[in-house]
């Protein structure tokens, strides 16, 4: 087993009862963190000097439709209605398995390059088993850790999730690969009949899988009450967006251990509504974060983190002024809280909190080194703020399960030019299937 000793960095462990940042060594043995502490012995280990850097747990993008990578920026000016019309109404049926593979591979590599080590791949374009297999293979080839959340294109509300496909995937690479876990990207309860929602969520519970769902505005449909009656809400239920859910429903879900994932840049820009961050914080809970769709917004999780933080602070400042007539004398949300949304909370949302999201003995060695010597970050007086303010250019190194995937600011992937050509060709062909703004036929 290979051993690596990271020395000289300031380390943000995101572990309770430890300082926000500390000068400690991190010893990696194989795919796990063996020790975190001062002056660790280096015997038998490769010593990596990271002086001037900040080491953090790998970022966790809890919600991305990675299969859309080839159509980057096509919908940057789309509303939510236009996105659903042009992409889901006109385009999804034209995807081939190769389109799924190249988008997932390129999209996952981009996530690694941006400091993401774990990806929640909400794959709701698994048209056939071959499409799903190609998407999974793209994730595997990239080297990222991923929760593959199997979904299908939108269908009639009374059609249940294809459980035979879930069981097939559990018996295949998605169930056996050490960096992959399987979950279900479900249509219900918001877009399914109550009986179908209960059937799908019970199937996920019986298999011990994360059941993730979309909810973007509007009152809860009858399926929500059916799931509550059946006691199917729990820690392995993940609500994406959760916008406009009544606060009594949010309280019910939080009390049941349900997790929430906000995708702030997309939610604010496309018209989903106001991110659910505030209602969660008022209940002592917190969101995880995702970037949602490369077709509309960039896939950099630190950007989403800054937007989530600034937006919530803006709402809180405005509320304080309305209530008191003056300005607040301290911030309502801290940078450390926001960084937890991008790490600890992401791990919890994907059912991986026992493996990733923190730097601690026994956890998986998913680590990111941020180069704080760069002009845009130096001098790094506050390590947490420095990380939250970082960008792709500052992500110097990325380790996943003890293996370097990026070093010296360079992604360790082969044939990137070939991959980029394939991605462009896929995107250009798919663009011809759409007729709205941003397409070549628009």
Span 178-210, pLDDT tens digits: 999 999 999 989 999 999 999 999 999 999 999
| Structural domain harbouring 247 | 59-344
Contact 441, 434 (CB under 8 A): yes
Spacing of C-alpha 33 from chain mean position: 22
Strands (E), 17-58: 22-23, 25-29, 32-37, 46-49, 53-57
- pTM greater than 0.75: yes
Q: How far apart are CA 8 and CA 24, in angstroms?
A: 7
Q: Both tokens of residue 281?
A: 């914080």
Q: Decide the pairing of beta strands 22-23 and 211-216.
A: unpaired
Q: DSSP characters for 136-166? A: HHHHHHHT-EEEEEE--S---TTPPP-HHHH
Q: Is 196 part of any domain?
A: yes
Q: Is 200 part of any domain?
A: yes
Residue with tokens 């087993």: 1
Q: How far apart are CA 233 and CA 220, in angstroms?
A: 14
Q: Is 377 part of any domain?
A: no
Burial of 298 (0-12, 13-18, 19+ CB in 10 A): middle
Q: How many CB atoms lie within 10 A of CB 103?
A: 29
Q: Both tokens of residue 165?
A: 């496909």
Has residue 439 got a pLDDT over 70?
A: no
Number of domains in the chain: 1
At 216-269, the pLDDT tens digits run 877 899 999 999 999 999 999 999 999 999 999 999 999 999 999 999 999 999
Q: Decide the pairing of beta strands 410-411 and 403-407.
A: antiparallel
Q: Is 207 part of any domain?
A: yes
Q: Is 432 part of any domain?
A: no
At 332-353, the pLDDT tens digits run 999 999 999 999 999 999 999 9
Q: Is 418 part of any domain?
A: no
User: Which pLDDT belongs to residue 176?
Assistant: 85
Has residue 1 got a pLDDT over 60?
A: no
Q: Is 157 part of any domain?
A: yes
Q: How far apart are CA 84 and CA 79, in angstroms?
A: 9
Q: Using alpha carbons only, what angle is made at residue 224 by residues 220 and 225, rounded to the nearest 5 degrees?
A: 110
Q: Is 372 part of any domain?
A: no
Q: Decide the pairing of beta strands 288-289 and 410-411.
A: unpaired
Has residue 438 got a pLDDT over 80?
A: no
Residues 6+ apart with CB under 8 A from 357: 14, 57, 60, 343, 344, 345, 346, 347, 348, 363
Contact 433, 96 (CB under 8 A): no
User: Which pLDDT belongs to residue 440?
Assistant: 47
Q: Which of 33-37, 139-143, 182-186, 436-440 has the lowest mean pLDDT?
A: 436-440
Q: How many helices (H) and strands (E) does the chain have?
A: 15, 19
User: Which pLDDT belongs to residue 442?
Assistant: 36
Q: What is the CATH number of the domain that holds 177?
A: 3.20.20.140
Dihedral of alpha carbons 21, 27, 32, 34, sign: negative
Strands (E), 164-220: 180-186, 211-216
Q: How confident is the model at residue 441 (pLDDT cuts 50, 70, 90)?
A: very low
The whole-chain average pLDDT of the chain stands at 96
């Amino acid at each position: 087993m290979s051993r690596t000793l990271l020395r000289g960095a300031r380390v943000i462990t995101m572990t309770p009862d430890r300082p926000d940042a500390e000068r400690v060594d991190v010893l990696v043995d194989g795919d796990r963190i063996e020790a975190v502490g001062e002056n660790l012995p280096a015997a038998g280990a490769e010593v990596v000097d990271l002086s001037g850097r900040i080491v953090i747990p790998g970022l966790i993008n809890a919600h991305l439709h990675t299969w859309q990578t080839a159509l980057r920026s096509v919908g940057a000016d789309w509303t939510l209605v236009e996105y659903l019309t042009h992409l889901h109404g006109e385009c999804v049926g034209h995807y081939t398995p190769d389109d799924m593979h190249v988008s997932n591979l390129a999209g996952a590599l981009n996530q690694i390059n941006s400091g993401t080590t774990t990806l929640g791949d909400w794959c709701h374009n698994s048209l056939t088993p071959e499409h799903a297999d190609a998407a999974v293979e793209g994730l595997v080839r990239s080297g990222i850790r991923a929760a593959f959340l199997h979904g299908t294109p939108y269908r009639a509300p009374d059609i249940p999730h294809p459980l035979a496909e879930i069981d097939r995937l559990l018996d295949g690479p998605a169930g056996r690969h050490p960096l992959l876990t399987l979950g279900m990207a479900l249509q219900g309860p918001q877009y399914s009949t109550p009986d179908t929602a209960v059937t799908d969520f019970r199937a996920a519970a019986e298999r011990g899988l994360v059941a993730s769902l979309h909810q973007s505005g509007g009152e809860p449909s009858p399926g929500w009450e059916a799931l509550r009656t059946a006691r199917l809400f729990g820690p392995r239920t993940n609500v994406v967006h959760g916008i406009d859910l009544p606060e009594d429903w949010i309280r019910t879900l939080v009390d049941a251990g349900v997790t929430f994932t906000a995708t702030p840049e997309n939610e604010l820009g496309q018209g989903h509504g106001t991110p659910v961050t505030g209602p969660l914080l008022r209940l002592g809970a917190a969101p995880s974060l995702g970037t949602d769709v490369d077709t509309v917004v960039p896939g950099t999780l630190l950007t989403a983190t800054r937007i989530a933080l600034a937006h919530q602070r803006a709402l809180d400042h405005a509320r304080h002024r309305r209530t008191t007539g003056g300005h607040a004398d301290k911030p309502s949300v801290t940078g450390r809280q926001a960084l937890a949304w991008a790490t600890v909370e992401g791990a919890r949302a994907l059912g991986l909190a026992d493996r990733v999201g923190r730097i601690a003995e026994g956890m998986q060695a998913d680590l990111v080194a941020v180069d704080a010597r760069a002009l845009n970050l130096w001098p790094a007086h506050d390590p947490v703020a420095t990380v939250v303010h970082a960008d792709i250019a500052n992500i110097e190194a990325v380790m996943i399960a003890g293996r370097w995937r990026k070093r010296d600011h360079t992604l360790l992937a082969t044939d990137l030019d070939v991959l980029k050509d394939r991605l462009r060709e896929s995107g250009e062909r798919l663009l011809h299937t759409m007729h709205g703004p941003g397409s070549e036929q628009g």
